[in-house]
Amino acid sequence: MSILSFILYLIVAACCAFIAERLVPNAVPGGFFTTAIIGILGAWIGSSVMGSFGPALEGVALLPCILGSAIFVFLFTLASRGFHGRSV
């Protein structure tokens, strides 16, 4: 993978993260940059687990990246919220 392909992968994955953030009902703490990082990780995991199906842009399968990003953003939102107000 060349450096240009890697940069394009990051841009496409960040766009998938933006779409995933809109799909998840709660706001992600940290803003867009945190969402982009989490989304890039989710896109990588989604494309690794689900393979490459659906439309692709610059070699990045969009459906697995969006689904992986949405799941990862949702899990991050749940984990960051924690168990506030709950006593053990």
Q: Give me the number of domains the chain comprises.
A: 1
Measured distance CA(7)–CA(49) in Å, rounded: 22
Residue 64's domain comprises: 3-81
pLDDT higher than threshold 60 for residue 86: no
Q: Using an 8 Å Cβ cutoff, are 67 and 23 in contact? A: no
Residue 85 has pLDDT above 50, yes or no: no
pLDDT at 63: 83
Give the distance between the most distant pair of CA atoms in the chain. 51
57 in a structural domain: yes
Within a domain: 87: no
Average pLDDT, the chain: 75
Q: Which residue has the tokens 């703490």?
A: 29
| φ, ψ (nearest 5 deg) of residue 28 | -90, 130
Tell if the pTM clears 0.75, that is, is over it. no
